[in-house]
Amino acid sequence: MIFVAGAPLSTDSSSSCSQGHDILTDLMKHPVLVSASSSLNDVAERKFSVSKDSSSGISRHNRWVYIFQREYATVDPALVDVVGTDEATTCVGLVIRNQNSGMTSVAHLDSPDVVDIGLAQMLAFVVNQSSDAMLDVHLIGGFDDASPENVNGITESHGKLEGYSFPLCKKIVDSLAKSNMKFQIHTLHVLGHNTRRDTEGNAYPIFTGFLAETATGSIIPANFDATTRCPDEVVRRIRVSASFEDPSWKGRLLETYDTQTDQFVIAPCTWDMRKMHIALMLQNLSDQEILLTCSTSPSAEAPDFVDNQRRQWDYLIQHPDWSETFPFKKPRIFQRTEDKSWVRHQAKSSSSSYPYAD
C-alpha cells in the first residue's frame, strides 16, 4: 500500500494490466512529490571519498556501506552511519527505512525481473511480521531514456520506445502498491523529474547516485570513487553480469552484506570459460565501441565507465575459472577495521557450498 503525505494513494484505474502505469502517472503528478523532486534538484551533488578532512566527504569516523548494481544491503543504524549507491543511469536506487527502528535497506535495481523477490529480500530485516510500522521510501535514478514524447515525465509510447527506466519504475510502484506493507513515498526522483536535456534535446540523468543517512533518513545526491566503492570492487562488478547466467540468482538481488555482523559477505557467483573469451574480444574494442556495446545509455555514462569495464575483463582473463575467486563456492568475507576500512577475512577451506548459491 502506498501513502503520500500521510494519505493513501488512490487510482482511477480498474484494469490490472494498466495499474502500474496509472499509479506511476498519479505519483509523478502528485504535488508533494513534484515539490520534493524540485527541492532535491537544488541540492548540490556531493562526491564521497575517504578523506582525513571530514568536510570533503566521508571521514574515517563514518561507517559506510556501498552497493553496486543488482545488490542490496539492509543496515542497522547502530552499526552503519551511511549507505549508498551510484552509477544508476537507467537503473533505480530504492531506499526503504523503518520509521520506528531506523533499519534501512538500499537496493540498486536494474530490471523489473528482480523487483518482487528483491523487495522481499530488502524487507526481511527492515520489518518483523508483527510490525505495522510505516516505511519511508525514496526512489532516485532512471531518466527519460525513451521517446521524447512524454507528459509529466511519463513516456506515452510502448514497446521498445519505453526505454529501460520506465518499465522498471512502473514495476516498482506496482509492487509497492500491491504489498500489505505501508510505504510512505517521500522521493520519486525518476524519469522526467530526473532528466536534463542539452541544447540538442538529448536526455541525461540529473542524479545517478545518493547516500542515505541512517540516523535521520536524509537523502543526499552523491557520487563515489574507488576509495568508497568497496570492498572487492572488481569481483562485485563481475558478479552483476555473471549472475544473468547463473540460475541460482534468477529473479534475486545479489547477497552482499550481513546486517547482523556488519560484514560484507559477498555471495559466490559462477561463470564459464566463455566469459574469458568474451573479455578477450571486448578488450580489443575502442572506448566508443565499448560504450555502445556495454551500456544501456552510452551518452550518460560517467567518465570512468570504460576503465571499469576494462578492469573487469583484465580480471576475467587472469582468473577465467570462477572457483579461483570463490573456492569451494564459499563467500568472500570482509570485516570492518578500527579505522572503518575493510579487510578480507581468510576463512579455512571447506567443501561445503554457500547456501545462497546452490
Per-chain mean pLDDT for the chain: 88
Q: How far is CA 201 from CA 149, 162, 191, 351, in A?
A: 12, 17, 15, 56
Domain that holds residue 49: 1-229
pLDDT at 346 over 90: no
State the pLDDT confidence band at 53, using cuts at 50, 70 and 90: low
pLDDT at 347 over 70: no
Q: What pLDDT, on the 0 to 100 scale, is given for residue 316?
A: 96
pLDDT at 15 over 70: no
What number is the average pLDDT over the span 133-159? 71
Greatest Cα-to-Cα distance within the chain, rounded to the nearest angstrom? 59
State the pLDDT confidence band at 71, using cuts at 50, 70 and 90: very high
Rounded-to-10 torsion of CA 9, 15, 18, 22: -30
Residue 249 CB neighbour total at 10 angstroms: 22
Let me know if residue 269 belongs to a domain: no
Q: What is the DSSP string of 206-236?
A: S-S-EEEETTT--EEEEEE-TTTS-SSHHHH
Distance CA 302, CA 294 (A): 13
Domain count, the chain: 1
Q: What pLDDT, on the 0 to 100 scale, is given for residue 353?
A: 40
Element of type H or E holding 141: strand 134-141
How large is the C-alpha radius of gyration of the chain? 20
Residue 67 near residue 109 (C-beta atoms within 8 A): no
State the pLDDT confidence band at 341, using cuts at 50, 70 and 90: confident
**CATH assignment of the domain containing 85:** 3.30.1330.200
Let me know if residue 245 belongs to a domain: no
Let me know if residue 296 belongs to a domain: no
State the pLDDT confidence band at 356, using cuts at 50, 70 and 90: very low
pLDDT at 283 over 90: yes
Q: How far is CA 66 from CA 72, 264, 333, in A?
A: 9, 10, 15
**Peptide bond between residue 167 and the one before it cis (omega within 30 degrees of 0):** no
Let me know if residue 98 belongs to a domain: yes
State the pLDDT confidence band at 152, using cuts at 50, 70 and 90: very low
Q: What pLDDT, on the 0 to 100 scale, is given for residue 18?
A: 58
pLDDT at 54 over 60: no
Q: Which residue has the cell 547466467?
A: 245
Element of type H or E holding 58: strand 58-59
Distance CA 162, CA 166 (A): 6
What number is the average pLDDT over the span 321-326? 96
What number is the average pLDDT over the span 105-124? 97
Q: Which residue has the cell 538481488?
A: 253
Let me know if residue 92 belongs to a domain: yes
Residue 112 CB neighbour total at 10 angstroms: 17
Let me know if residue 97 belongs to a domain: yes
Least confident of 73-77, 127-131, 336-340: 127-131
Residue 175 CB neighbour total at 10 angstroms: 17
Q: What pLDDT, on the 0 to 100 scale, is given for residue 61?
A: 56
State the pLDDT confidence band at 156, using cuts at 50, 70 and 90: very low
Provide the CB-side half-sphere exposure for 344 (13 A, CA): 12
Let me know if residue 234 belongs to a domain: no
61 versus 174: which is more confidently predicted?
Answer: 174
Q: Which three cell numbers, joined as nine digits, stand for 56?
A: 570533503
Q: What pLDDT, on the 0 to 100 scale, is given for residue 5?
A: 94
What number is the average pLDDT over the span 135-139? 97
- The DSSP 8-state label assigned to residue 347 in this structure reads P
pLDDT at 155 over 70: no
What number is the average pLDDT over the span 189-218? 95
Distance CA 133, CA 103 (A): 11
Let me know if residue 31 belongs to a domain: yes
